[in-house]
A = this chain, B = another copy of it.
Amino acid sequence: MAKVDTSLVAHLPLFAGVKPEDLEEILREARSARYPKNSAIFEQGADAQSFFLLLHGHVRAAKTTPTGEQIVVRYVAPGETFGLAMAIGATRYPATAIAVDDSVALIWPTSAWPRLVERFPSLAANTLQTVGTRLQESHTRILEMSTQQVEQRVAHALLRLAKQSGKKLDRGIEIDFPISRQDIAQMTGTTLHTVSRILSGWEQQGLVESGRQRIILRDPHGIVVLAERSPDSGVA
């Protein structure tokens, strides 16, 4: 277990207002681990023994129904925390976390959280902020699912992914991790078939370029237009 360089994480929102020497103390309680592509980090319903800070790679958090349907709760990008069950008073993970790319994360034992929060109250405040933001985003998503059609929802989802994990290319913006039609369907509350049809259409119009688990937004602005277009203002 290599020692973590504080300079790599000092700027993260989680550690805002934490003194460098304190940060070192916090990091001493963590270990780091590597997760190969497609490996599970934790399973929904399992005992929440740890919480995580993603350093490299990308992680998909998904929730499964008793009947086996899944939705993608979110994609975790480097610098973000996940598996914070303890912070919300849960003892089990409410979702499953899978590395969608080779990934590296810092891991703290859940049991360390109360002590850390006591010693460094800004941790609680910072986490509150993050969780609050996620709650907002979650409400936005509900609003979208209630009021928008599938095409607009897919547009919004891609734009968010591009903002969070977009890689600038000459030809456009590429989503920087493998993502399937199925994944997008599970983010937007539709089926992979519908997503496929939509992307095919967009490809024809030159809005995107896509392939197996790969999407490039060639005309981000055009997609913004789609995302904001009111349901009936179709091109005559």
**Residue A161 CB within 8 A of the other chain:** no
**Residue A112 CB within 8 A of the other chain:** no
Q: How far is the CB of A65 from chain B (nearest CB, A)?
A: 6
A63 touches B131 (CB 8 A): no
Known A65-B147, A87-B129, A88-B135; judge A71-B124 contact (CB<8 A): no
Q: Which residues of B have CB within 8 Å of A136?
A: 88, 90, 94
Residues 112 to 159 of chain A near chain B (Cβ within 8 Å): 117-118, 121, 124-125, 127-129, 131-136, 138-139, 141-143, 145-147
Q: Which residues of B have CB within 8 Å of A139?
A: 63, 73, 94-95, 138
Tell me how many chains of this kind the complex includes: 2
Bound Cα distance from A133 to B65, whole angstroms: 18
Q: How far is the CB of A59 from chain B (nearest CB, A)?
A: 16
Q: How large is the interface on A (under 10, 10 to 19, 20 to 34, 35 or more residues)?
A: 35 or more
Bound Cα distance from A186 to B121, whole angstroms: 38
Residues 169 to 187 of chain A near chain B (Cβ within 8 Å): 186
Interface string of A93-113 (1 = CB under 8 A from B): 011000000000000000000
Bound Cα distance from A65 to B148, whole angstroms: 10
A65, A71, A129, A131 pick with most chain B CB within 10 angstroms: A131
Q: Which residues of B have CB within 8 Å of A230?
A: 67
Bound Cα distance from A89 to B128, whole angstroms: 9
**Residue A69 CB within 8 A of the other chain:** yes
Bound Cα distance from A136 to B61, whole angstroms: 13
A142 touches B143 (CB 8 A): no
Partner of A128, one of B87, B142, B189: B87
Q: Which residues of B have CB within 8 Å of A94?
A: 136, 139
Closest to A135 in B: B135
